[in-house]
Amino acid sequence: MKVKLSSLAVAIAVTAVSSVAWASAVRDEPITPIQPYVSENPAKVQLGKKLFFEPRLSMSGIISCNTCHNLSRGGTDNLATSIGHGWAAGPVNAPTVLNSSLAIAQFWDGRAADLQEQAAGPIQADIEMNMPHTLALDVLNSIPGYQDEFEQVFGSRDITIDMVTAAIAEFEETLVTPNARFDQWLKGDDNAITAYELEGYKIFKDSGCTACHNGEAAGGTSFQRMGIVRAYESTSPVEGRYSITGNDADRFSFKVPTLRNVEYTYPYFHDGQANTLEESVDIMGQIQLGRHYTEEEIDKIVAFLKTLTGDMPQLTLPILPPSSNDTPRPDPFR
């Protein structure tokens, strides 16, 4: 369950960090501060963290969630499109897992309603981890260390896929990045961002970027067409939400990505074809708003976007329980 630190009582508990740390925004803006997340079930979070880093959930034995959502690199793989089992290229760019709990749905086309539903996909997807759920469960159920931990968290040693995905989702809920300089500014600290960055925010807001990039994550609140004023040129065959709804109006409609930590999550767009923030801002201006920004305007917007980098989760690498003699072995070349 999600608990937000909004009550005063909890705010006092964290005052040691900073006296105004989790106050709510004093500025009324379309982007709102990220609230820290405190899980009511730390044991479930720790188990989910292990599973997130667990390469034995893949057929090859070397691919974990963290391979493509590298938490040392902003929760992405920084590739145009992901590479999974057998060195197979996926069709789309890996979105960050940071703050993904804040989005209305998961995946570029929103085909999973929430994080738990999402987590079931990559384990068995042949171009990702290529591991049938039955085999993944055979692996986990053969490892006494995992059985103990699942029993502690779920009250059963008989591990099911729902337990696996619930634990991963609970861990992912903790991957929020509060306390960005922009959030400090939203909360009233005038000096948290420079005049130049503020000018960038004004251009961003006044030209209409916030129509789509809004809310806590500066994105993730709606599905929008990629190419409103002008078509987006892409060689990618991906058609966005149309592939889910079959509705013509949804063709090339994608979940608006978060702009939190965007300086880390290059390359950009669902096809990963924009290498730099400058390029993606230029393209967005032209195809979504019909604006041709000057180099200086682009520079200012990019400076603003970099103020959206928050405190990334500081993680200790989990030590995974050893396999037993009965654990099915990986098959990297299958």
Interface residues with ligand HEC (CB under 6 A) are: 63, 65, 67-69, 82, 84, 90, 92, 94-95, 97, 100, 103, 106-108, 115, 118-119, 122-123, 128-129, 168, 204, 207-209, 211-213, 224, 226, 228, 254, 256-257, 259, 262, 265, 268-270, 277, 280-281, 284-285, 288-289, 301
For 151-286, strand residue ranges (E) read 223-225, 253-255
Structure tokens at 85: 């089992």
DSSP state of 267: S
Could you tell me if 129 and 67 are in contact, meaning their C-beta atoms sit under 8 angstroms apart?
A: no
Compute the least distance from the CB of residue 182 to ligand HEC, in Å: 14
By beta-carbon proximity to ligand HEC, the closer residue of 280 and 307 is: 280
Q: Is 129 annotated as a binding residue?
A: no
Q: Is 1 annotated as a binding residue?
A: no
Compute the least distance from the CB of residue 24 to ligand HEC, in Å: 25
Could you tell me if 75 and 98 are in contact, meaning their C-beta atoms sit under 8 angstroms apart?
A: yes
Compute the least distance from the CB of residue 267 to ligand HEC, in Å: 8
- Residues whose CB is less than 8 angstroms from the CB of residue 320 and which lie 6 or more positions away in sequence, other chains included: 50, 53, 54, 56, 145
By beta-carbon proximity to ligand HEC, the closer residue of 69 and 306 is: 69
By beta-carbon proximity to ligand HEC, the closer residue of 33 and 272 is: 272
Q: Is 292 annotated as a binding residue?
A: no
Q: Is 128 a catalytic residue?
A: yes
Tell me the C-alpha to C-alpha distance, in Å, between residue 237 and each of 87, 127, 141, 194: 20, 17, 39, 41
User: 243-267 b/e with 16+ CB inside 10 Å = b?
Assistant: ebeeeeebebbbbbbbbbbbebbbb
Q: Is 226 annotated as a binding residue?
A: no
Q: Is 284 annotated as a binding residue?
A: yes
Compute the least distance from the CB of residue 148 to ligand HEC, in Å: 21
Which residues are catalytically annotated?
A: 128
